[in-house]
Chains A and B, each alone.
Chain A
């Protein structure tokens, strides 16, 4: 089983749609959780952290369920500029401290 698993995608949605990304992680000792965004042939950039209480940033909402080891990202009213690959990221225990593990990513295409 992969340490961090995401929906394989790609997701093709029209502008204005709501889209949800799912992610599960295997290490129950994982401490912190993030969503990153990666544009084609660019570096990953932090989109938002994910907290147990859930958090929202404009059109983006992130949720964490520690019992189920599940993380989600919801994008409302999607825009063309949201087209990118979304990476689920987990800080897990590793040699010498924590190790940041990236999921394979889910690609999103938003079409006019």
Chain B
């Protein structure tokens, strides 16, 4: 499957634990975006990364959330000390170049985090 791969698809954590969500972009894509979708709500932009660089993190909560996209390996969205309000679907998308006029984002199937 040459699409955007996310894992785990489902993750259950207790309050206070850490959650790590991984995303491998489509082959040939060097730009990764993370979005969060709460139940019955739209997608909210979190962060935009290129390899080894955070380009735009204006949608990331100031505490407990971090993201990286290392030179080798997948992009990681890390949530420390999870709370019930973090329960959501986290979607990763990739594009071959920066968000621009061409615009299409290719999404993974999402990682559904449940915090007990």
When distances are taken between beta carbons in the complex, the residues of chain B under 8 Å from A101 are 45
Determine whether the beta carbon of B45 is less than 8 Å from that of A32: no
**B109 contacts A98, CB within 8 Å?**
no
Interface of A toward B, CB cutoff 8 Å: 31-32, 34, 41-46, 49, 87, 89, 91, 94-105
With A102-B42, A104-B41 as known contacts, state yes or no: A97 contacts B98, CB within 8 Å. Answer: yes
A and B contact pairs by CB, cutoff 8 A, 29 listed: A31-B100, A32-B100, A32-B101, A32-B102, A32-B103, A34-B104, A41-B89, A42-B109, A43-B91, A43-B109, A44-B43, A44-B91, A44-B105, A46-B104, A46-B105, A49-B103, A87-B43, A89-B103, A94-B56, A95-B55, A96-B55, A96-B56, A97-B99, A98-B98, A98-B100, A99-B58, A100-B33, A100-B105, A104-B42
The distance in angstroms between the C-alpha atoms of A95 and B41, with both chains bound, is: 24
On chain A, the residues within 8 Å of B103 by CB distance are: 32, 34, 49, 89, 91, 100
Q: How many Å from the CB of B20 to the closest CB on chain A?
A: 20
Whether B56 pairs with A91 at a CB distance below 8 angstroms is no
Contact count band on B: 20 to 34
Does B35 sit within 8 A of A, measured CB to CB?
Answer: yes
Beyond contacts A31-B101, A98-B100, A105-B42: 16 other A-B pairs, Cβ-Cβ < 8 A, are A32-B102, A43-B109, A44-B91, A44-B105, A46-B104, A91-B101, A96-B48, A97-B99, A97-B100, A99-B45, A99-B48, A99-B99, A100-B99, A101-B45, A104-B41, A104-B42
